[in-house]
Structure 1
Amino acid sequence: MKITVEYPVDGAEVGLLTKRGMDAVVRRVDELDLDVIAFTEHPVEGPRRLRRLVPASS
């Protein structure tokens, strides 16, 4: 059996949307020996939307 983790995007804690946050999640998934990380099939958000989601201080 394969175990999949769906990466949270909508409604996610802002820290999970940063490079550091993504790196921490990916490393933890690897440590737990899980099989797949899935992202939504929606296109990448544009810079204007991301600026609203992730404050400049992050």
Structure 2
Amino acid sequence: MHEREGRAEERFRSSGNEVSKIDNLSYLITLAEQSSTNTASSIKEDASQPNGPVI
């Protein structure tokens, strides 16, 4: 009985680790998307300036 409980607990712990990894990856993807959006917005703003982009 204890062996079965130990295996179940190990699977539960392993699942928790996998969920944590997925959460971290999701966070990193969100940061990358925000950065990309901000960069695109800045490029559009620069391109719309009367004297062209500011370098």
- Asked if Structure 1 and Structure 2 have the same fold, meaning a TM-score greater than 0.5 normalized by the shorter chain, the answer is no
Per chain length, whose mean CA-contact separation is higher, i.e. which structure has more relative contact order (CA < 8 Å, sep 6+)? Answer: 1
Structure with the larger strand share: 1
Instruction: Give me the TM-score of the superposition, normalised by structure 1.
Output: 0.28
